[in-house]
Amino acid sequence: MIAVSVVAALGAVALGAPLGMAQSGAAGGVTAPPTWTFAVSGDSRNCGDFVMPAIASRVKADGDAFYWHLGDFRWMSQPDEDITAMSGGNALTLSAYPEVAWDDFLAHQIAPFGDLPVFLGRGNHEAIPPMTRDRYVAKFSAFLNRPEILAQNKADKYGAAPKSSPWFHFVKNGVDFITLDNSTVDEFSYAQQTWLRGVLQRDEADGSGVTTIIAGMHEAMPHSFSASHAMDDSVWGTESGEKVYRWFADAQAAGKHVYLVASHSHYFSPALYDTPYWRKAGAVVPGVLIGLAGAHRYLLPDAHPAEAVEHQYGFLQGTVKADGSIDFAFRQIDEQQMKAHAWPQATTAAIEDCVQNNSDVRK
């Protein structure tokens, strides 16, 4: 059985100190630095116990302001390969596994970030039975109620997100970081849409202080290069996703820097929405897909941007410039880094197996 005793210390360690914020009403008068960075990725099931500690080391060494995880913490349909390997090859039963899976995520993937702020988004694997939205909120309530989120809710007043909501936002140095929940077929719900509409209206208002809007979510919105594995999978997903996407396109047309980040598909893809559909609509919003924090890696779809990457692990580093624009760069995590930051019970053979075999094979 894997030890998860460090979970008890997470409230004082992995949540980190509050971020300094600058936005009308959120916290006043903070001057934005010329450039600063943050890190984001998603999908750390399967081999995340080996990949995420290396990501944490790199993120902290680079001085990123925070780490943003876009969902799929553990496999949930069966024990992850890393959990089995670190328990000496003794696989948990399907009844015992769900009781320790999220604790394992906190102990072996989030704890390495130490006092660096971590923000969590919900993925579809967080909804695989017996896991539910209520169980998610209960387990990760400390992350969903970070000081930055509570301060933003107070500033938003009557337009605030519900307490412990899987969707929330906060503003730092004029950048509005919005976490959306599209992990299940009923999202984006009407309640989430109403909340988001209010957030965007406040961002677009004169004197808001917001120059940049970046939304992170698990599944890509419709008509992206990842459309075969995204919100396009359902009628409601397509309908609600198209509506929300157009809201972000409108914010871009109004003069805001707007970026959309997703995971769910296990590869890296820039220019995610620079597709024939959105080009024809005249509504291309910069988007990036980054689902390489440990999950079984997919092959790239037949149509993909030239810079897209498959069969690697890594995360996205965003560099926010003085004018509010953001440059994104893929940061690879290789086998050497994984071994250098491995847990004592993580064997060399298990890490090598995750590097060599945790991928689809091109025929």
10-residue mean pLDDT profile of the chain (363 residues): values are 35 58 43 86 98 98 98 96 90 91 98 98 97 97 97 93 95 98 95 97 96 98 96 96 98 98 97 97 98 97 93 98 97 98 96 96 80
Cα 276 from chain centroid (whole Å): 26
Q: Is residue 172 part of a domain?
A: yes
As a whole number of angstroms, the distance between CA 355 and CA 334 comes to 8
Residue 328: its pLDDT value, please? 97
Question: Is residue 260 in a domain?
Answer: yes
Domain-located, residue 112? yes
Give me the amino acid identity at 291: G
Looking at the 3D structure of the chain, how many domains does it have?
A: 1
User: Can you give the pLDDT at residue 26?
Assistant: 45
Is 192 a domain residue? yes
Residue 70 lies in a domain: yes
Domain that holds residue 274: 5-357
Instruction: Write the DSSP assignment of 12-77 as a string of letters.
Output: TTTT-SPPP--BTTTB--PPPPS-EEEEEE---TTTHHHHHHHHHHHHHHHT-S-EEE-S--S--S
**pLDDT for res 323:** 96
Q: Confirm whether 259 is domain-assigned.
A: yes
- Residue 362 in any domain: the answer is no
pLDDT at 23 (0 to 100): 39
Residue 91's pLDDT is what? 77
Tens digits of residue pLDDT in 2-49? 333 333 333 333 567 677 544 333 444 456 668 999 999 999 999 999
Alpha-carbon distances of 99 from 94, 114, 142, 335, 340, rounded to whole Å = 10, 24, 19, 30, 29
Query: Would 363 be classed as within a structural domain?
Result: no
At 345 the three-state DSSP class reads: coil
CB 200 within 8 A of CB 213: yes
Q: For position 106, which CATH number holds? A: 3.60.21.10
Helices (H), the chain: 48-62, 81-86, 97-105, 133-139, 141-144, 147-156, 190-204, 235-253, 276-280, 335-340, 348-357
